[in-house]
Structure 1
């Protein structure tokens, strides 16, 4: 059994400058291991080879080049560190509150500071250009399909609603687990996928990307993930920060990017967007009576 202290030292080696001297496959595997520890624990060499895009033999050689005797040894190291680190929302909130100090005012002040830092990223030229590129993808699409699960599902539904109000046809992929398969069945040629995804390459986002690729659909992505397995699949990548690393996730930047792109799409066809809202008001009056606005 690998002791936690030794295991931590072995994992720290994956972040060292020495890794840069290794073959490309080993460097890619090191990055994948750091971003997808649970996936490593539950995957065979063949499954990892498929995810990373190399052969089974290359996976084994790369594991050994990184300083492990084999894949079982790597899994032992990961298992020894998982419990000690226990990263997750509870840990992130604990770190955030510890930095803020006691009291609601301190927490409020820190939250606003974190939001300002994250929102500033939208002023970066490459991020603005990425949003314009995403608009260029979505404008001619037959339908805009917004992917988001968990807490992000609410933002996906909101984006679909404001797009529909401005005359666009929108669909959401917001189911987790096996229910997502039924939603993926609705994808069609002419769609474009806007994926809101963060963190590791979990099964739902990878299944969505694979189905989009099978149908030849472009994928625009809003993400702050460092996982190459995810971001490499995007035709357009919009880097939207969710606050500081190791702190509670805040979503104002994602919402701002969504609303900005929605307005940008309306600007591509203003008469259609205005006409759709006129019709919305007519429908409201038919449902609620003449006093509805």
Structure 2
């Protein structure tokens, strides 16, 4: 299978299925959950066997494979077989209530490392470059996010501000909308949402785009409403478990995307960014010294 033309990359298949799961039909979700729970077994199953195991029709399985970007079920099985050759990436190990802290440390570190690897595997230089270009030439950058994504939005706005860019983060929908409608062509609005369906992020991002700004989505779900409405989409990846809800699982992967965007922008405006960093560090250092 040519990963660039047929379906999803084997090394990020399970992570991507997890991201698009909320956007699938109920029947397709049943098949997708089997892929997430035991991808190796699905890879070994014929379409008849998977139909019996999932309680869905063979036609539903074919439609699910196509929804995931494959020509049919045989191509999906091939990708799952390739992914199964990397078992450590398919079964990161859920945290259990009786895990000793030594095991907690290892499992958390492993899950976060995999989230970073899965995000990096889906973050192409072409997509990143388009976003970097837009931000570099922007008069103003708005960043929208709520909950844990709001913390990431604040981090992004602060980073851009430190290199002299006019950037503001909004977690309140009213304030976000107020700012969004005042943007104009050449400005950039960035929405951060794991699901890509958060109303408090969707609405201001859409209004910003209507005002002429370039809309950027950072989300786990490339089939989400936010991704569909954005000019550019950067995919993050995070695995939710009982002890790692979506807020925890997504934060690390979102921060990876934000850091890559920031470094790319700082490179483009290297001289001015270095001067801005020097001045901001100096101001903080002088303040601390006087206290």
TM-score normalised per structure 2:
0.61
Q: 1:206 aligns with which of 202, 209, 214?
A: 202
Residues 131/14 of structure 1: CA separation in 2 closer, same or farther (3 Å cut) = closer
**Pairing of 1:75-154 with structure 2 (within 5 A):** 96-98=94-96, 101-124=98-121, 126-154=123-151
1:162 matched to 2:159? The reply is yes
* Partner Cα distance (1:267, 1:119) in 2: 22
How much has 1:260 moved relative to structure 2? Answer: 2.0
Residues 183/96 of structure 1: CA separation in 2 closer, same or farther (3 Å cut) = farther
How much has 1:21 moved relative to structure 2? Answer: 8.7
* Partner Cα distance (1:233, 1:102) in 2: 42
State the partner residue of 1:12.
27
Whose radius of gyration is greater, 1 or 2?
1
How much has 1:221 moved relative to structure 2? Answer: 1.4
Residues 192/106 of structure 1: CA separation in 2 closer, same or farther (3 Å cut) = same
How much has 1:197 moved relative to structure 2? Answer: 1.0
* Partner Cα distance (1:157, 1:227) in 2: 25
How much has 1:245 moved relative to structure 2? Answer: 7.0
What 5-or-longer segments of structure 1 have no aligned partner?
1-9, 29-94
How much has 1:159 moved relative to structure 2? Answer: 1.2
Preserved contact between residue 222 and residue 240 of structure 1 (Cα < 8 Å): yes
- Secondary structure, counterpart of 2:189 in structure 1: strand
- Secondary structure, counterpart of 1:124 in structure 2: helix
* Partner Cα distance (1:263, 1:162) in 2: 9
* Partner Cα distance (1:202, 1:267) in 2: 32
What 5-or-longer segments of structure 2 have no aligned partner?
1-24, 31-55, 68-92
How much has 1:20 moved relative to structure 2? Answer: 8.2
TM-score normalised per structure 1:
0.61
Residues 125/197 of structure 1: CA separation in 2 closer, same or farther (3 Å cut) = closer
